[in-house]
Structure 1
Amino acid sequence: MADAFVSFAVQKLGDFLIQEVNLRLSLRGDVKWLRNELLFMQSFLKHAEEKQSGDQRVQQWVFEINSIANEVVAILETHSFVAREGDDDEFASHLKACACICRKETKFYKVTKEIQSLKQRIMDVSRKRETYGITDINNAGEGASNRSNDQSAIVRTLRRTASYVDEDHIFVGFQDVVQRLLAELLKVEPRRSIISIYGMGGLGKTTLARNLYTSPNIVSSFPTRAWICVSQEYKTMDLLRDIIKSIQGRTKENLDLLEKMTETDLEIYLRDLLKGLKYLVVVDDVWHREAWESLKRAFPDIKNGSRVIITTRKEDVAERADDKGFVHRLRFLSQEESWNLFLTKLLDVQVMVPEMERLARDMVDTCGGLPLAIVVLSGLLSHKRGLEEWQKVEDHIWKNIKDDSIEISYIISLSYNDLPTVLKQCFLYFGVFPEDRVIYADDIMQLWMAEGFIPRGEERMEDVAEGFLNELIRRSLIQVVSTMWEKVAKCRIHDLLRDLAIKKALELNIFDIYNPRKHSISSFCLRHVIHGRAQRYLSLDHSNMKLRSIMLYDRDFCKLGLINFRNEFQHLYVLHLEIRSGTKLPDAIGSLYHLKFLTLRGIHDLPSSIGNLKNLQTLRVFNKYGHLCQLPPETADLINLRHLVAWYSNPLKHLSKLTSLQVLNGISCDQWKDVDPIDLVNLRELRMFCIAKTYSLKNIGNLKHLHTLFLGCIRDESFPALEFLTTCQKLQRLWLKGRIEKLPLSDPFPNSITMMFLRYSKLMVDPMPILGILPRLRNLDLKGAYEGKEISCRDNSFCQLEFLRLNKLPNLERWHLATTAMPLIKGLNIRGCPQLKEIPKRMKDVERLKRIHR
């Protein structure tokens, strides 16, 4: 892990030598020596990290190297920050006095002293290395080069296997349980009843509940459904709000109303809302009886068959939830079920020779029928090649076995230890998110990039990060929640794996989570995470910490003036603020010169000083539904910005200056009327909403490298002319939501399109003849897209189509499918087409898709 920090420090030292060409010789010599010594130390780090788990002294040695590397970065960034301040007008006289470095060497005095101090520290560390027996695992002094090549090879391998294993809610061994609980949920029993599912962590309680929740019979029987996660740390008001939002939606008026309510108001409001509705609510991961007691009064019993599902690890919580309720203790898997689950998750069953199967069966038996342990073991063995490597895994397991079974924590640790270093830090970072949090894939990948976890090379960092995420999923360390465009859209980490990530991260000083009860947080960690009581956290002294990242989750916090951006947080690379809606962002945010990632939730307007953040790569602004933000004109000065995600209401006049931009998401205005985006040569993904028929979209056709395009109209509005799409010759994914008055008769879409979603297009003419000629179209989703009675797919049409979804086509009666149409079709989903009584005979054997892409 320290290898990544050392690499970053070496890069910074090299940049410093290039930029500061007038350094006096003694300082230049010290910087070169420090850089070379850190390069040399890199060759020992892998051996040290392998030894540190069993040797406290080695662990301390790794920590000292890590500390030195971080100190180097902080010193150089402080120098850069001070030098930059000289660019401000108020410092003009100071700049003039320091104009000649040769005459005014005092500018580097502090840097010189601090570098010399680090030089002494690294000599001490070098002596300790010999004492602790840490050897160079690479040969003949070629360590740094070889390690760099090894890392590049790992990155290439991960990118070659960039697709992920889509679990598709694999649920081995519990089909009988599902049927039993479905019967309990659907039985003719007017009384509102509680179904409690309990068992130890890793048994699959949440997976079982989700399987029930998404069952077609449940969806059709319960018109009103909601799902909330409680976890150990919860706020009853937030839980009540989440249930109401699930039922009523997230309109601006509704959200504003909920924000003003007290807990009692929310309870009464939800109770009144549910009266007259047949509802199913899942209350997931309840740890304390008090949590359920604080919620149950809001669920009225009006004798209409409503149900509540509770999942918990605690038997007493399950037993006491409802005197007349149904309690199910989730069992462990049988030996046969365990083996079937293992095979289901194994990436390549074909390579398993009989000797390997014998080893695997023995290892699976030691998992004691615990599904999480089995899938993690399967993910681990999927990345081990041959009998010898599988034997090593079994040897490790048998050394730690107790009572013929292995602790789940050991299996998880074994899988973690098997990760390449570049993946370990990515996995640990999942621990910063609140428990049970659904995590957007883009969010975690962009955080990795800002933290320097993604190696720079020939490939786009976004593509490398995607490969890393998919690898963690294949190893069953991360779970897929939903997909979009055949990619992971949302994911989560299991509680037990999150516990490991937090423990390891603290050991390695990656990050620490603020403990408000002890009013403490590690001063050695460069990343601080705050899951509440932000104001109390800010009362700590941060002046000497040189923090790199702040992740602040506190919807009750609004006093941003308490954050001393200029003095205490000037080294920040990552800032995530999830705070009370309507909070004002202070001008001092512009002093965070090194900032690469900025996420703001609850802030409507940004100050003009945001334009000072020249190193910013990602800017994400999220507000309550209906609240658009105001981006100042200076946003266009963010020359290194790669991802801009903000629902903004006024056009950015100089948007084309953002030539590094790759993702632009949230345009809610007529952005392209007076702006030609021809200079946005790197833009690959564009999302634009609230479109009116009067808008001008033709300039979008000048985005020659656009791969993904989302366009959504204002409700009941129609799209303006869509002819510009023809010129987007690299466009692969197209999502259109809104009325399309008519499709052009010839070449309305580029031949490059592979996936197309049409939402509420309300076409009067059958679109299939036009869509069927697209030569690369693999995935077609039509929802409310056509109001006619008949669709016709001609011979040789849809030659590459694999997946088709027809949804909410209420008038559709007939579907004509020519003999040679759709020769490669694999999956079909038809919903909301009540008049379609018969589907083509050839389609009856096609697999029914379980999930609708959103």
Structure 2
Amino acid sequence: MAESSVSFLLDKLSWLLEAEVNLQRGVREDVEYIKDKLEHHKAILMVADSLENKNHELKEWVKSVRKIAEDMEDAIDEYDLRLVDHDQQGNNICYFQEICFYFKTMIARHIIASNIKGIKSKVEVISHRRPNISGVGSSSSKSRSPRLDSQGDALLLEEADLVGIEKPKKQLCDLLFNNESKREVISINGMGGLGKTTLAKQVYDDPEVKKHFKIHAWVNLSQSSKIEELLKDLVQQLHILIGKPVPEEIGMMKNDELKRLIKNLLQSRYLIVLDDVWYVTLWNAVKLALPNNNLGSRVILTTRKTNITELGKDFHLEFLPEKEAQDLFFRKTFQGNSCPPDLKEVCLEILQLCGGLPLAIVAISGVMATRKFEEEWKIVCRSIGSEIRGNDKLEDMKKVLSLSFNELPYYLKSCLLYLSVFPEFHPIEHMRLIRLWIAEGFVNGEDGKTLEEVADSYLKELLNRSFLQVVEKTSDGRMKTCRMHDLLREIVNLKSMDQNFATIAREDEQDTEWTEQVRRLSIINSFRNVLKQNKTIFKLRSLLMFALSDSLNHFSIRELCSSTGVNLLRVLDLQDAPLEDFPAEIVDLYLLKYLSLKNTKVKSIPCSIKKLKYLETLDLKHTYVTELPAEIVELERLRHLLVYRYDIVSYAHFHAKHGFKVAAPIGNMQSLQKLCYIEVDQGSGAIMVELGKLTQLRRLGIQKLRKEDGPTLCSSIEKMIHLRSVSISTITEDEILDIHAIKPPRYLKQLYLSGCLEKFPQWIKSCNNLVRVFLKWSRLKENPLVYLQGLPNLRHLEFLQVYVGETLCFKAEGFPSLKVLGLDDLEVLKSITIEKGAMQGLKKLIIQRCGSFKNVPLGIEHLTKLKSIEFFDMPDELLMKLRPNVGRDFWRVQHVPTVYTSYRRDGGWDVYSLETFGERETDSNHSSAKRSLELPTLWKV
């Protein structure tokens, strides 16, 4: 992990040396010396994570390197803070001002030079104490070669000892026995400890499998496996299997010769299992030796990654369901007996921590089996992190979960450790995490990509490596929130504490010992615990607060973390905090890059916000800010300006969304990538022209557009060649939305239009990348489906008062990728026809407030993948036709697992299944019959 700190620092040192900065004499040479020495030390740091716990000398040395990297980072940031004249604008400074500025900062220059000389001395000391690289290298290779005990044990388990394996075993056998004659590759993937090896071994040893495949071989791999070793192992196994002596010259053969030999041996139907494949390169080299002999041969890989094979079949192993997890835990903990009543509650808490991970359940059951009293169980439950650190019985589990972390490249280690700042069970927002990573400096630039796109690739890589789980997806398939498995989180938390990466302050952990220096601080529930830390030195780069119970009306960041502890702050995240006023001291945090006041009650932003020259993200979503000061446009580095809130009454109300006004040339903010939602009804002509200067925009949200400004807006949008998402709303629902002249951006994926359309915009039908289209209050007389049905990637379509016709027909082969369809308030709609072959992938259908619609959609029975239908506030005549065993059209929807209907009641919505629909008046409180919805629509964008 020190590798990450050093690599991050080296980037900053390169900037310092390349920039035209006025360093004192000798300082540049000192910086170059520090940079060269740290570059030299990177090789040993790359293997330190997996070795430092076994080598005390190495651990202390790595700690020293990390401390030097942090001190040097502080020195550079102090340079940034002290030697930049925050009162001057641009380069229009006279000679006299330059002289004044030089003398004003002379003391600061001297201090910085002195600090860097001190750091140079420390670098010289650690360079002399550098551990023996060759010794470390050899121990590294030895430490990685053996299989972990837990993986070896998986090969010895009997099927009678296993829980929950029957279903995945059958599914995997079905894949092996299918009628496909060409060679197929099946990748069993999932996080460490899920039982991938166990499942593969049970299938491999099954008598029917052995009978079906004449040739079969099992190859054990590890992180350090080499292609040559793998090929030799496979050659030896195959020779033994067919009863031939292993060639003596095998030890001298090159890889190509070994591959040809294997190909010649695999002339019958074969099954090869490669257990624990870590790298794509390894598989790509081995697959050339496994011939496609058109005999139904199969290859099984077990891996923690989901992208090992290009054309193989992914078999993602899931966590154990709750019942099976309980069975396994009780069997192992109580030796087959039932759980004692007094331990039932704490048992369930521990099982929740295990999260259905078989390795964790087995390991922790071994620990709990020796504890007989409830209080002992509760202590373990409260302190699972320290238990993992100190209990030998959990060592294998710790090794398995740590192995993947140690293998991560340095830039992903920082990103993963950052997740420790979020509370347990807290879904982490996709875009929030990406913006935080960028503000922290964890994301490296790549040619042709924005930092956001690079960060998104980091997130996907962590998903592919099974570090993260998707909690919630958007309707078009994108990840919305994610989280870590609870026990993996404990492992990451331990590493974060060991390496002083982040400090977590909780109200319920007041006795926790703090580190000497705090660089990232996450405050959960209350900041009272922070105020007691008199001996702690705050050198904060990030300050985040979650679920605060304290009032922040008189909140002071400087009082919280000492007067000097926040000067270098880059991230300030006060989302959800009980805050009503903008804290005035924020504008003095000159290096701040990320500021979030989301979901607070802040009403205004001061003009002095312009002092935050480095600010990249300003998140004011769901605050009461409705106008930004003109000075906001001086923040030329701002990439994400997010200011809007929804009226909670109903998202389907035209004026439900509120944006912001700004009286300034918004076109000056040319770094903007996201601008949502700007109200353009005042001085709108000039604003439309200004928007055309924002050529880096990826997302644009426009509110209160007037008809006469439509053509100018179209002209501006044409210049936004990177645009992915556009939302446009007119000033009133009767205002004409004139956007017919747009030449659509090539990458446009999401389109939200609210306002009256005289005719359907023809350009939409050519936007082949669109995945979401929401149209509201269009009031079209022509059928909009004609223009939308050919869009190849459209996954989510919503209509609200879009069409005034009586019939809608979904043509065969239309909407090939559609997953979600919502129809709302189509007043005169009387019938829907779905031709066979239309919307073949549709999973969710919502129809609401269509008062004239009284007949079941004809052809709905053709939608075989439909998972749910929801009717909101629809005529009883329609719903009675769908009641099971009573309605004449029930047969059309009997294949759909979930069909609900609802009615507004007491300000909310009561939702009934069709089975109980007829009982709604006589038994309106029947808990199994209904659930309550706060909002009936999907209009929230």
User: Is it true that 1:571 corresponds to 2:560 in the alignment?
Assistant: no
Please tell me the residue identity of whatever aligns with 2:186. Q
Q: Which residue of 2 aligns with 1:599?
A: 596
Corresponding residue pairs, total? 637
1:409–1:29 Cα change, 3 Å: closer
1:97–1:519 Cα change, 3 Å: farther
Q: 1:518 Cα shift?
A: 3.0
1:86–1:610 Cα change, 3 Å: closer
1:352–1:611 Cα change, 3 Å: closer
Q: 1:46 Cα shift?
A: 1.0
Q: Which residue of 2 aligns with 1:336?
A: 166
User: Is it true that 1:498 corresponds to 2:489 in the alignment?
Assistant: yes
1:827–1:741 Cα change, 3 Å: same
Q: Which residue of 2 aligns with 1:765?
A: 781
Taking structure 1 as the reference length, the TM-score comes to 0.65
Q: Which residue of 1 aligns with 2:669?
A: 658
1:732–1:505 Cα change, 3 Å: same
Q: Which residue of 2 aligns with 1:546?
A: 539
Q: 1:535 Cα shift?
A: 5.1
Q: 1:571 Cα shift?
A: 0.8
User: Is it true that 1:463 corresponds to 2:453 in the alignment?
Assistant: yes
Please tell me the residue identity of whatever aligns with 2:739. E
User: Is it true that 1:478 corresponds to 2:478 in the alignment?
Assistant: no
Q: Which residue of 1 aligns with 2:401?
A: 412
In structure 2, how many angstroms separate the alpha carbons of the residues matched to 1:136 and 1:725?
65
In structure 2, how many angstroms separate the alpha carbons of the residues matched to 1:451 and 1:628?
26
Q: Which residue of 2 aligns with 1:837?
A: 856
1:630-709 mapped onto 2 (5 Å cutoff): 630-647=627-644, 648-668=659-679, 670=681, 672-675=684-687, 676=689, 677-689=691-703, 691=704, 696-701=709-714, 702-703=716-717, 704-709=720-725
User: Is it true that 1:559 corresponds to 2:554 in the alignment?
Assistant: yes
1:664–1:359 Cα change, 3 Å: same
Please tell me the residue identity of whatever aligns with 1:611. K
Higher relative contact order (CA 8 A, sep 6+): 1
Q: 1:55 Cα shift?
A: 3.1
3-state SS, counterpart of residue 63 of structure 1? helix
In structure 1, how many angstroms separate the alpha carbons of the residues matched to 2:763 and 2:79?
57
In structure 1, how many angstroms separate the alpha carbons of the residues matched to 2:819 and 2:539?
51
Please tell me the residue identity of whatever aligns with 1:524. Q
User: Is it true that 1:124 corresponds to 2:125 in the alignment?
Assistant: yes
Q: Which residue of 1 aligns with 2:209?
A: none
Q: 1:444 Cα shift?
A: 0.6
User: Is it true that 1:613 corresponds to 2:612 in the alignment?
Assistant: yes
1:806–1:77 Cα change, 3 Å: closer
In structure 1, how many angstroms separate the alpha carbons of the residues matched to 2:749 and 2:764?
14
User: Is it true that 1:51 corresponds to 2:51 in the alignment?
Assistant: yes
CA displacement 1:631-655 (0-9 Å, x = unmatched)? 2222111111111112253224221
Q: 1:34 Cα shift?
A: 0.7
Range that drifts further, 421-430 or 109-118: 421-430
Q: Which residue of 1 aligns with 2:234?
A: none
CA displacement 1:578-631 (0-9 Å, x = unmatched)? 46555322443222222111111422222222112222111111345xx23432
Q: Which residue of 1 aligns with 2:831?
A: 814
CA displacement 1:41-87 (0-9 Å, x = unmatched)? 11221111221233343233222212211211111211221112474
In structure 2, how many angstroms separate the alpha carbons of the residues matched to 1:344 and 1:667?
55
1:781–1:506 Cα change, 3 Å: same
3-state SS, counterpart of residue 622 of structure 1? coil
Q: Which residue of 1 aligns with 2:247?
A: none
Please tell me the residue identity of whatever aligns with 2:462. L
Structure 1 unaligned blocks of 5 or more: 140-330, 366-376
Please tell me the residue identity of whatever aligns with 2:481. K
State the identity %. 20
Q: 1:824 Cα shift?
A: 7.1
3-state SS, counterpart of residue 635 of structure 1? helix
Equivalent residues of 2:82, 2:105 under 8 A apart: no
Q: Which residue of 2 aligns with 1:361?
A: 199
In structure 2, how many angstroms separate the alpha carbons of the residues matched to 1:781 and 1:802?
8
In structure 2, how many angstroms separate the alpha carbons of the residues matched to 1:95 and 1:552?
41
In structure 2, how many angstroms separate the alpha carbons of the residues matched to 1:830 and 1:762?
19
3-state SS, counterpart of residue 60 of structure 2? helix
1:74–1:724 Cα change, 3 Å: farther
3-state SS, counterpart of residue 7 of structure 1? helix
Please tell me the residue identity of whatever aligns with 2:642. V
Q: 1:123 Cα shift?
A: 2.0
1:283-362 mapped onto 2 (5 Å cutoff): 333-337=163-167, 339=169, 350-351=186-187, 359-361=197-199
Equivalent residues of 1:343, 1:349 under 8 A apart: no
In structure 1, how many angstroms separate the alpha carbons of the residues matched to 2:784 and 2:18?
60
User: Is it true that 1:41 corresponds to 2:46 in the alignment?
Assistant: no
1:757–1:58 Cα change, 3 Å: same
Q: Which residue of 1 aligns with 2:874?
A: none
Q: Which residue of 2 aligns with 1:113?
A: 114
Q: Which residue of 1 aligns with 2:3?
A: 3
CA displacement 1:668-707 (0-9 Å, x = unmatched)? 4537442121210100111345x36678454432132253
3-state SS, counterpart of residue 845 of structure 2? strand
In structure 1, how many angstroms separate the alpha carbons of the residues matched to 2:38 and 2:775?
56
3-state SS, counterpart of residue 13 of structure 1? helix
Q: 1:524 Cα shift?
A: 3.2
3-state SS, counterpart of residue 671 of structure 2? coil
In structure 2, how many angstroms separate the alpha carbons of the residues matched to 1:806 and 1:38?
58
Q: 1:15 Cα shift?
A: 2.1
User: Is it true that 1:518 corresponds to 2:499 in the alignment?
Assistant: no
Over aligned residue pairs, what C-alpha RMSD do you find? 4.6
Range that drifts further, 825-834 or 751-760: 825-834
CA displacement 1:496-555 (0-9 Å, x = unmatched)? 333333222111211011144237633334101111332552464599532111112325
In structure 2, how many angstroms separate the alpha carbons of the residues matched to 1:342 and 1:54?
39
Q: 1:567 Cα shift?
A: 3.0
Match of 1:585 among 582, 585, 588: 582
Q: Which residue of 1 aligns with 2:423?
A: 434
CA displacement 1:744-766 (0-9 Å, x = unmatched)? 37446653452233254363535
3-state SS, counterpart of residue 585 of structure 1? coil
Larger radius of gyration, structure 1 or 2? 2
3-state SS, counterpart of residue 123 of structure 2? helix
Q: 1:479 Cα shift?
A: 2.5
1:10–1:734 Cα change, 3 Å: closer
Taking structure 2 as the reference length, the TM-score comes to 0.59
Equivalent residues of 1:757, 1:780 under 8 A apart: yes
1:536–1:847 Cα change, 3 Å: closer
Please tell me the residue identity of whatever aligns with 1:464. V
Q: 1:2 Cα shift?
A: 2.1
1:766-781 mapped onto 2 (5 Å cutoff): 766-772=782-788, 775-781=791-797
Structure 2 unaligned blocks of 5 or more: 141-160, 177-183, 190-194, 204-222, 224-272, 284-298, 306-358, 368-392, 645-658, 871-936
3-state SS, counterpart of residue 466 of structure 1? helix
CA displacement 1:111-136 (0-9 Å, x = unmatched)? 22211211121122223322687757
